[in-house]
Every structure is written in structure tokens, then in C-alpha cells.
Amino acid sequence: MKRAGIALLLVVVGFLLPRLLGGSTLVYDTLVVIAIFGTMAYGLDIILSDLGEISLAHTAFFAAGAYAAALLSVNAEWGAWATLGGAIVTALVLAAVLGAITLRTREFAFSLVTYAAAVVCANIASNWSFLGGSDGVVGIPALDLSIGPITLVAGTNTQFWPYAYTLLVLTIYLVHRFRRSRLGQAALMVHMNPRLAVMSGLDGQRIRLMVFLVSAPISAAAGWLYAYQRAYVGPDLFDTYFLVLMLTAVILVGRRNLLGPVLGTAILLVQKSFLSLGAYGDKLVLGGVLVAVLCLFPKGLASIRFRRPARTPAMRSVAVEKRIV
């Protein structure tokens, strides 16, 4: 009960954070993007932290969710709830196809194959007129999640914040429940001790495919909301910036840290919003942070331990005298 109370308090404080930080347009803009990109990173976090694999295809799931939202809302005039369902189904189909191909490989080969899959998806999006080609899809309507007489519409980032924050909180809860589930425990066993997993009767490929299918809709849901927030979808969603951002956000604080991806995303985007060095400069900072963390703190910033200075003989004697007194 105590943990639940603390968690509820953190959720409430998080929701009020924009107002606590002044409530300016820049604050809302930054926090909405942090919530969306943080959700995107959690999709990769499940694969990287729980399976121990580096998937470079999650930009494709993010983009798939965005394109599904754009095409279904603009061409088919579907509502936001329906486009969310379409985004999730699209991601599941894409994950099933990629999973059947890539999950037979491991580690280095897995990373190369997933990256190749993302490159293929990017080229399809850039050249297929159905997806808007290089021009992308424009004219995406405002987000409308109204239910009956309850009006839930968002056109500005100030209005977007409750929905982006809700999506982020639901994602964190889902990841928490996943890691406590049988599938999450099985994924960790397949990652940490494959031999024991086989002896326990676990099918490694089946477990990995199921985890892949869990992770894809998370990144796709982030893409779905990003499409409405930006009101435009284009091939730039496959840019390496999104991939590097996801990877850095997951490892910056530390893997298997429940709040790690959102905290990592916040650190990176706060720099971009408030201490920007320009488009190219910010990308250099992002790449530099990734390299620095991998080289200096491979287990993330959470692994840093501040040790007390060693006591000299004189300090020990003073301590003993204090105890005697």
C-alpha cells in the first residue's frame, strides 16, 4: 500500500509538472515530446533490457503507427480511437513478419538484419505514392478522443499534455506488469541463462517472438500520437536521430530501470529545448552522449556510486575518542 501511495503521488506530481515549471508554451512543447518519445523508447527497452538484443527496427514500428494514423484519418476519415487500433494492428503484423525473419538470428546478426529491415521500410515510405512518397501525408485532423457526451479534443500541446502523459503512464504500468509476468520472467531467463531456459522447457524463439509482439505496439502507439501532435507524417520518421535517441534513452540511466527510458529521454530533450546548439550541434551532442555512456558507464548513470573518502589513521583515532567520550 505504501508503494502504491508513493506511485500515485508521483503520477499526480508528474501531471502537474508543466504548471510547476511555469506553464509556458515551451515547457508544454518539451514535456509532450518527452512523453511521446519516452513511450517510443519503452518499446525498445523491452527488447534491449529483457531479451538482451539490440533491435534497430523500432523506428519502423514508430513510423508504422504514425503512417497508420495519418492514412486512416485522412483517407478513410476514421476517428482517433479507430486509428489507434489500426496503428496497433499494423505494428503487430509488421512485427510478426520481421520477427519470423529476424528472431532466428542472435546478437550481431540480429542487429544487422533489423537495421536492414528498417532501411527497406524507409525506402518504401519514400517511394510509394500510397504513403505520400517523399512529401509524406499532410492534413491530419486534430486529435479527437471524445466518448459520447464527453469531449476530448486536442489541437495545441497544452491540450495534448493529458493524453501524452496518460499514454506514458499506461506504458510504464504495462512494462512493470510485463516484467512481473510469466512472459517477462521467461524472457529474462532466455536472456540470462539460455541453457537453463531450455532445460526448463522454454522455447527460446517463441518467447522472443512474443516479446517482439509486445514491444512493437508500444512504439507504434507513440507514433500514432506523434502523427496527431505534428499533423504531418513523412519519411523523416525513419531518420537515424530517432533510433539513436531511443538507444541513448534506454541505456543512459540504466537498463531494467522502470523510469530509465523516460528520464533518459527527458535529459536529452531538455538539452535540445533549453540548451540547443542548433540542429547539427544537437545531433552531435546526442551521439557524443551515447558514445560516452557506452565507454564510461556501460551500466548507465544509475551504476555510479559515490564512495566516501578512505579514513586516515588520524581520522580513525578521532572517531574512537568521540565514542569513548
| Alpha-carbon 84 to chain mean position | 17
**Residue ranges covered by each domain of the chain:** 24-324
- Give how far the C-alpha of residue 253 lies from the chain's centroid of Cα atoms, to the nearest Å: 13
Q: What is the pLDDT of residue 102?
A: 74
Per-residue pLDDT tens, the chain, 325 aa: give them: 678 888 899 999 999 999 999 999 999 999 999 999 999 999 999 999 998 888 888 999 999 999 999 999 999 999 999 999 999 999 999 999 888 887 677 667 788 888 888 899 999 999 999 999 989 999 999 999 999 899 999 989 999 999 999 999 999 999 999 999 999 999 999 888 888 888 888 888 888 889 989 999 999 999 999 999 999 999 999 988 999 999 999 999 988 899 999 999 999 999 998 888 887 888 888 889 989 988 888 888 888 875 455 555 554 554 434 444 4
Q: What is the pLDDT of residue 313?
A: 53
CATH of domain 24-324: 1.10.3470
- Quick one: which of 101, 107, 109, 99 has its CA closest to 212? 99
Classify 197 as helix, strand or coil: helix
Residue 323 confidence (pLDDT): 47
| Nearest Cα residue to 44 out of 106, 120, 95 | 95
Cell numbers standing for residue 43: 518499446
pLDDT of the residue at 177:
94
Q: Are 249 and 261 in contact (CB under 8 A)?
A: yes
**How far is 202 from 112, CA to CA, in rounded Å?**
26
At residue 324, the pLDDT reads 47
* pTM score, whole prediction: 0.90
pLDDT digits (tens, 9 = 90+) for 47-103: 999 988 888 889 999 999 999 999 999 999 999 999 999 999 999 999 998 888 876
**273 burial via Cβ count (<10 Å: 0-12, 13-18, 19+):** middle
pLDDT at position 319: 46
CB atoms within 10 A of CB 317: 11
| pLDDT at res. 321 | 46
- Radius of gyration of the chain measured on its C-alpha atoms: 22
